[in-house]
Chain A
């Protein structure tokens, strides 16, 4: 067991843990860059996780589960849009309302439909996104360094992780290289100017929220039908809020936000491996201290290295056309 092997495994673990965070952070990016605060990432993910597990359990097809997850999450995004864009409601309140509703509704519906005390279990070993072995993965394993990196990090992830990886350049491209992206960023900074140019603020924001719904849907499906088998109460465990923190951490830009997600995932992966390990010169570190590591690191980085994060200027303000 050498250090290189361990770092490769650590990297693989980081990627598995980062997948839902990256998707959720990019989801948040679209909403917030268009000027809509979306604290409801958590609720949308949880609803998607529920829908994915429920549909997969009934139909036995995880692709159908994924589709259901995306549709459910987009519907909730539209609810958020209807409350905050059409009716100019408070964005934080609407997002929070979605979180609370889903947190209660999920287990209740699961209990009513599946009778497993608020849980949905998939038949073990079937009906979920399994790790995909890329070609030659087994063959090149013995090539030093490159072989192990290819076999254990690049290969052997599941489809949704690969989708998440592809989403990163795609999000950058949409946001910075397309007309839609330019308008979306503009509407988050100065909606009045966009309106003056004859472009509908509401329709732009709705479209941004649909993107958010799409990505949250994939993130939720990852939780319940890829990483775990089935839905459990509160299974998002604050990942939506963590993604939101990563977004602020990354100053509302896609690549830094993704890096922040990777950092959170890395500390989480690291703490699983540091428990009970004795470090040279320090000795064995108490579990409680190791478990606090991700939070401590976050505070240090936030306080010391991030600097001022400037939000999109119009974020949180409903757009009112002058009369």
Chain B
């Protein structure tokens, strides 16, 4: 026991000196949101982007996982004080602390994903989730035999409503009379990490006749996909490619290229290409899309894929306009 504590202290000392040395060169940092690094979804996508950067360049990054709301501001200023040149925040909830802290650290570059913060040293990256959701909505309608599909959201916020509305538009584009059941796991950040709740919500939708359920709920969504697999129905994954979680029971995944966003932000900041401002990534920029691999090749048929590709081309050409969530 004592020995391992000793080892930990030595390791920590080494780590902190390493940081000091590194601070002179380039030091990127990544902060994960609630739900955790391995949520097999949003945060994990960010993690993969950072890992790829580490592999390609050999530069390691600082990281932090938020476990409660009060840590957001602390984590941000800690990273800035520890000499990170660029701090990437995965999650819209960082918008408020970033608003206040961006001015205090004018030399640090900040990148926020999923929210817009208008400061001279902040780059905001937002995705057109509604476009990707539209396509998986089409897939759901094409695969559904009952004419009812479902959506399970995590926290009930405009961002997630965007997924929901895009999905509904996609379903109705294929079958105008199909029903879409909608459930949200909660109103607080805890709604991202409650798989039991996701499980129960998905089952409630299957009971009401749905046979394909799409989730946008982080780790909570694992419960949704689990329920689909248990009951022999279909789930649709989100953010990362989740097709392999329950092969044969995940129709497809709405991938949001958070990994690419993180990777490119690090890469640009390392060179001189980094610019503040807002970047919007949609189908055209390959920022969103749907996943096809060995796990779902048999359930997402060629015929479906052709229809999705056709719709994708029309969205990019501007012939189909996906509206997304518009609060009145």
Stretch of B90-98, B223-231, B268-276 lying at the A interface:
B223-231
CB contact under 8 A between A117 and B201, given known A229-B226, A273-B208, A287-B184: no
When chains A and B are docked, how far (Å) is the Cα of A131 from the Cα of B223?
A: 15
Stretch of A9-17, A64-72, A181-189, A252-260 lying at the B interface:
A9-17
- For chain A, the count of residues having a C-beta within 8 Å of the partner chain is 35
Does A269 sit at the interface, judged by CB under 8 A?
A: yes
Residues of chain A lying within 8 A (CB to CB) of residue B222: 228-229
Q: Which residue of A lies closest to B245 (CB)?
A: A124
Interface residues of A in 256-293 (CB under 8 A from B): 268-269, 272-273, 275-276, 287-288, 291
CB contact under 8 A between A9 and B204, given known A232-B219, A233-B67, A237-B190: yes
Q: B226 contacts A117, CB within 8 Å?
A: no
Q: Which residue of B lies closest to A16 (CB)?
A: B200
Does B195 sit at the interface, judged by CB under 8 A?
A: yes
Q: Which of A130, A228, A230, A237 contacts B199 (CB 8 A)?
A: A228
Q: Which residue of B lies closest to A130 (CB)?
A: B230
Does A216 sit at the interface, judged by CB under 8 A?
A: no
Does A218 sit at the interface, judged by CB under 8 A?
A: no
When chains A and B are docked, how far (Å) is the Cα of A119 from the Cα of B218?
A: 14
Residues of chain B lying within 8 A (CB to CB) of residue A116: 38
Q: Which residue of B lies closest to A107 (CB)?
A: B67
In angstroms, how far is the closest chain B Cβ from the Cβ of A220?
Answer: 13
Interface string of A147-187 (1 = CB under 8 A from B): 00000000000000000000000000000000000000000
When chains A and B are docked, how far (Å) is the Cα of A273 from the Cα of B207?
A: 10
Does A190 sit at the interface, judged by CB under 8 A?
A: no
B interface majority secondary structure: mixed
Q: A125 contacts B229, CB within 8 Å?
A: yes
Does A223 sit at the interface, judged by CB under 8 A?
A: yes
Q: A269 contacts B182, CB within 8 Å?
A: no
Q: B209 contacts A124, CB within 8 Å?
A: no
Q: B204 contacts A117, CB within 8 Å?
A: no
When chains A and B are docked, how far (Å) is the Cα of A235 from the Cα of B230?
A: 21
Residues of chain A lying within 8 A (CB to CB) of residue B204: 9, 13, 269, 272-273
Q: A117 contacts B65, CB within 8 Å?
A: yes
CB contact under 8 A between A227 and B156, given known A1-B208, A9-B207: no
When chains A and B are docked, how far (Å) is the Cα of A121 from the Cα of B223?
A: 12
How many CB-defined contacts (below 8 Å) exist between A and B? 81
Does B315 sit at the interface, judged by CB under 8 A?
A: no
Does B187 sit at the interface, judged by CB under 8 A?
A: yes
In angstroms, how far is the closest chain A Cβ from the Cβ of B293?
Answer: 16
When chains A and B are docked, how far (Å) is the Cα of A268 from the Cα of B184?
A: 13
Interface string of B182-211 (1 = CB under 8 A from A): 111011001001111001110110011100
When chains A and B are docked, how far (Å) is the Cα of A166 from the Cα of B182?
A: 36
Residues of chain A lying within 8 A (CB to CB) of residue B245: 124
Residues of chain A lying within 8 A (CB to CB) of residue B37: 117
Q: A276 contacts B183, CB within 8 Å?
A: yes
When chains A and B are docked, how far (Å) is the Cα of A130 from the Cα of B38?
A: 25
When chains A and B are docked, how far (Å) is the Cα of A229 from the Cα of B36?
A: 16
Residues of chain B lying within 8 A (CB to CB) of residue A5: 207
Interface residues of A (CB under 8 A from B): 1, 5-6, 9, 13, 16-17, 116-119, 121, 124-125, 130-131, 223, 227-230, 232-235, 237, 268-269, 272-273, 275-276, 287-288, 291
Can you list 15 contacts pairing A with B, beta carbon distance less than 8 Å? A1-B208, A9-B208, A13-B207, A119-B219, A124-B229, A124-B245, A131-B230, A228-B195, A234-B193, A235-B195, A235-B196, A237-B194, A275-B183, A288-B156, A291-B186
Given contacts A16-B200, A229-B195, A237-B194, 15 further A-B pairs with CB under 8 A are: A9-B207, A119-B36, A121-B38, A124-B245, A125-B246, A229-B222, A230-B195, A232-B195, A233-B36, A234-B190, A273-B208, A275-B184, A287-B156, A287-B187, A291-B186
